[in-house]
Amino acid sequence: MDILVVDDTKSVQSMLSELLCEEGHTVETANNGLDGLGKAQKGDYELFVIDHLMPLMNGTQLIKNLKKIPELANKKIIFITTQSHSTVQKLPEYSLFDKVIEKPFNKNTFLNVLSDLTDPVFQRKPIQVNG
C-alpha cells in the first residue's frame, strides 16, 4: 500500500516509515501540512497518516483540503495527536478522521489501527507477543 506520513517530527517520520516498510508498504513523508498537500496531489496514496499540530498548515487544515479533492476525498486517514482523544472528539473535523491515535504510541498500537483500516489483502503479518 502507498502511504503518506505527514509529521513535523523527524523521529516519528522515521519510526513510522521503518515500521510500514517492514510491513511491505511504500512510504513517503512530508514535514508539514502544506508539504503533505503538495505530495498528496502528485502521488497515488491509499492511506494518509497525519499529525495534528504542525507549522504552515496543521493536520485538520490538511485533511479539510484533502476532502475537497474528489480523487482524495475517500482515502483513509489516521490522525495522530498529542492531545487527548476526548479533546480531539470536540474538533469540528473529527468526523473526517478514520482513526485517531494519541502520542506517544507504540508500534503494536499503530499496527492494530492500520490493520483495522485496511482490506484483508493488505493486512499485516500476525505479531508474536511474548509474556
Domain boundaries defined on the chain: 2-116
What are the distances in angstroms from CA 72 to CA 67, 77, 118, 131? 6, 10, 16, 41
- CATH superfamily label, 2-116: Response regulator (3.40.50.2300)
Q: How confident is the model at residue 120 (pLDDT cuts 50, 70, 90)?
A: low
Statement: residue 126 has pLDDT above 70: no
Total residue count of the chain as it appears in this document: 131
Are 2 and 26 in contact by the 8 Å Cβ rule? The answer is: yes
Give the pLDDT score at 125. 45
DSSP 119: -
Beta-bridge partner residues of 99: 78
Give the pLDDT score at 130. 42
